[in-house]
């Protein structure tokens, strides 16, 4: 399938510089692209490749000034990286839209309902009273428990498990191996030293336009719902515990863990391997550095923290700078001690 520069420019609201009829059929990195491919340049650090690439069409930032002429057709846009992401999304959407129908062997309970233009791959198991919306794409080995609801235009990759009573919104993407709605980690200590399991009778609610990475696990609530709000993006290998709330458009990087009943605000950014204790709140717009350990609530919006236990980011940097200077400071203190001793000796001998 080929697209001309004119068609691509229309999709990304770009301005064409060169041959509008130049056609491409695939994508390539700017340093490796071949004729017939589309590439992009967003980072000026790689500008040298702009003058050597063989790509037929290149997306660039509209304010980039060329140092020499190019044979490729350019499409100038406000943000080349964002425009390229838009094109990739459109391409992926076109590829998945071609998938339709139900492959066998699959099991679909007679009490379940399935919308229009749905694709269900082989070895999928759809339990009782499941509701699947329109244009949903479900790949091999997916399990949907009783009473699960899947919204329109949602994509479930291979091996996803969504347990009973969970609700998945519209335009959600869940990647391979993710488990939504497994039991929360709830055990009551007994007098004999053993632990009694606390039944987890809530569910998980994933709102619209959420993306959940591969092998991420989101536990069902003890009572009520564990909630991932609209637009949130979760990386691979994340653990979200029972009754957690992740705010709108919050992003969490891989290997992070959030303990039970913690409320994370909107537009929060959490780096990889961060750990957050339970029953605290994280204010809107907070930024938590990678490998930070957050042990108490962050109450002020747009706070930046780092370290374990997490502290104010700027103060921590100052502390680190002071620590690096300790050897020099120690040397100066010793020199001052020697000077003081000499002055005292001179005063005694005077």
- DSSP H helical ranges for 79-216: 80-97
Q: 10-35 pLDDT, tens per residue?
A: 999 999 999 999 999 999 999 999 99
Tokens of 172: 């959600």
Same domain, 207 and 261: yes
70 in Cβ contact with 5 (< 8 Å): no
* Residue 150 confidence (pLDDT): 98
Confirm whether 35 is domain-assigned: yes
Spatial CA neighbour of 267 closest among 237, 214, 303: 303
166 and 303 share a domain? yes
**Of the residues 97, 116, 146, the one at which a domain ends:** 97
Residue 349: its pLDDT value, please? 77
Same domain for 294 and 199, yes or no, is yes
CATH classification of the domain holding 70: 3.40.1390.10
Determine contact, residues 168/111, Cβ cutoff 8 Å: no
Q: Which residue carries 């498990």 as its tokens?
A: 161
What is the model's pLDDT at position 329? 86
Same domain, 331 and 271: no
Write down the pLDDT at residue 323.
Answer: 81
Residue 301, both tokens: 């919006």
Same domain? 193 vs 328? no
Residues designated as active site: 242
In this prediction, residue 318 carries a pLDDT of 80
Task: With a cut of 50, list the residues of the chain below it in pLDDT.
Answer: none
Let me know if residue 165 belongs to a domain: yes
In a domain, residue 262? The reply is yes
326 in any annotated domain: yes
Residue 114 lies in a domain: no
Domain that holds residue 60: 3-97
One domain for residues 272 and 178: yes
| Structure confidence at residue 91 (pLDDT) | 84
Peptide bond before residue 309 is cis, with ω within 30 degrees of 0: yes
Residues 344, 293: one domain?
Answer: no
152, 167, 295 from 130: Cα distances, Å = 14, 10, 39
Q: Is residue 123 in some structural domain?
A: no
Are 246 and 321 in a shared domain? Answer: no
Tell whether 171 and 295 lie within a shared domain.
yes
Both 189 and 293 in a single domain? yes
CATH number at 253 reads: 2.160.10.10
Answer with the one of 45, 65, 97 that is the final residue of a domain: 97
What is the model's pLDDT at position 310? 84
- In this prediction the pTM is 0.82
User: Is residue 133, in this structure, part of any structural domain at all?
Assistant: no
Q: Which residues lie closer than 8 Å to 281 by C-beta, 6 or more apart?
A: 262, 263, 264, 265, 297, 298, 299
pLDDT computed for residue 140 by the predictor: 97
151 found inside a domain: no
Cα 199 to Cα 4, 127, 160, 186, 260, distances in angstroms: 58, 21, 23, 8, 15
Whether residues 250 and 338 fall in one domain: no
**Alpha helix segments (H runs only) across the chain:** 5-12, 80-97, 313-324, 326-349
Q: How many structural domains is the chain composed of?
A: 3
Boundary-marking domain end, from 44, 67, 97: 97
What tens digit of pLDDT does each residue of 289-308 get? 999 999 999 999 999 999 98
Both 221 and 267 in one domain: the answer is: yes
Cα torsion 173, 179, 183, 185: sign: negative
């Amino acid at each position: 399938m080929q697209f001309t520069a004119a068609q691509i420019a229309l999709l990304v609201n770009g301005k064409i510089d060169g041959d509008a009829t130049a056609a491409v059929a695939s994508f390539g990195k700017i340093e490796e692209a071949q004729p017939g491919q589309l590439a992009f340049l967003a980072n000026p650090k790689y500008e040298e490749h702009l003058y050597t690439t063989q790509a037929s069409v290149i997306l660039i930032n509209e304010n980039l000034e060329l140092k020499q002429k190019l044979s490729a057709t350019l499409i100038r846009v406000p943000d080349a990286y964002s425009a390229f992401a838009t094109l990739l999304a459109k391409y992926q959407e076109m590829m998945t839209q071609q998938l339709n129908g139900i492959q066998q062997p699959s099991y679909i309970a007679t009490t379940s309902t399935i919308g229009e233009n749905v694709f269900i791959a082989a070895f999928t198991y759809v339990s009782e009273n499941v509701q699947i919306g329109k244009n949903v794409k479900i790949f091999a080995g997916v399990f949907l428990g009783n009473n699960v609801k899947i919204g329109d235009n949602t994509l479930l990759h291979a091996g996803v498990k969504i347990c009973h009573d969970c609700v998945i919104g519209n335009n959600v993407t869940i990647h391979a191996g993710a488990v939504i709605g497994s039991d929360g980690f709830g055990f009551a200590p007994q007098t004999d030293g053993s632990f009694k399991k606390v039944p987890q009778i809530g569910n998980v609610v994933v709102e619209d336009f959420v993306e959940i990475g591969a092998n991420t696990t989101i536990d069902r609530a003890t009572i009520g719902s564990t909630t991932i709000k609209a637009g949130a993006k979760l990386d691979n290998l994340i653990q979200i515990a029972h009754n957690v709330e992740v705010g709108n458009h919050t992003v969490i990087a891989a290997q992070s863990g959030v303990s039970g009943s913690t409320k994370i605000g909107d537009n929060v950014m959490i780096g990889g391997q961060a750990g957050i204790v339970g029953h605290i709140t994280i204010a809107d717009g907070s930024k938590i550095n990678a490998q930070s350990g957050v042990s108490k609530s962050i109450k002020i919006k747009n706070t930046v923290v780092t370290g374990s236990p997490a502290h104010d980011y700027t103060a921590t940097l100052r502390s680190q700078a002071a620590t690096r200077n300790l050897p020099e400071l120690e040397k100066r203190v010793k020199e001052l001690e020697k000077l003081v001793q000499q002055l005292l000796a001179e005063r005694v001998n005077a």
